[in-house]
Amino acid sequence: MTKAKSASAGPRTAREETIEALVSGRLRFHELPDDLPGEEAAGIRREALARITGASLEAIGHHSFDASIASKRNCENLIGVAQIPMGVVGPLTVHGDHVDGDVFVPREPSSHRSTAAAPPSASRAAPGSTSTTSG
């Protein structure tokens, strides 16, 4: 009776080799090839970072923008996106060169902390400065 050969993992892929190089420190996150598509580069960085930290980064890989454009123009070492809550203000009436009418404007979440609970110095502008908040 002969022993069955165990299935070998086969040759490692270039993607796996790149991930392992990032994990080991032989390659830095910004040193990925320039011709690598943005989404592929982000996936490689995410996987390497997940292996380094032990954190699951699957959720930040789901997005609705073009990663190839963002990775070339807007973000160095793209790994994904973080969703944040978004509110809206409006309608606001705007009269300008490109808009004439009512518009709705997206905005970031506001703090729900009462200004009454803040220390007195937090509600006053520093001497010689101009406050940009309204009460």
- Is residue 124 included in any domain, yes or no? no
- Is residue 46 included in any domain, yes or no? yes
- Is residue 118 included in any domain, yes or no? no
pTM: 0.56
- Is residue 81 included in any domain, yes or no? no
Candidates 66, 74, 26, 20; CA nearest to 44 is 20
| Residue 31 domain boundaries | 14-73
DSSP assigned state of 30: G
- Which tens digit of pLDDT belongs to each residue from 41-69? 999 999 999 999 998 988 888 877 777 77
User: Nearest 5°: CA angle at 61, between 9 and 85?
Assistant: 160
- Is residue 23 included in any domain, yes or no? yes
Residue 65, CA distances (Å) to 60, 86, 87, 108, 124 in order: 12, 17, 20, 19, 41
- Is residue 20 included in any domain, yes or no? yes
- Is residue 52 included in any domain, yes or no? yes
Cis-peptide into 91, omega within 30 deg? yes
Q: How confident is the model at residue 111 (pLDDT cuts 50, 70, 90)?
A: low
- Is residue 27 included in any domain, yes or no? yes
- Which tens digit of pLDDT belongs to each residue from 79-107? 888 777 777 778 899 999 998 999 888 88
CB neighbour list of residue 25: distance below 8 Å, 6 or more residues apart: none
As for how many domains the chain has, the answer is 1
Q: How far is CA 94 from the centre of its chain?
A: 31
DSSP assigned state of 87: E
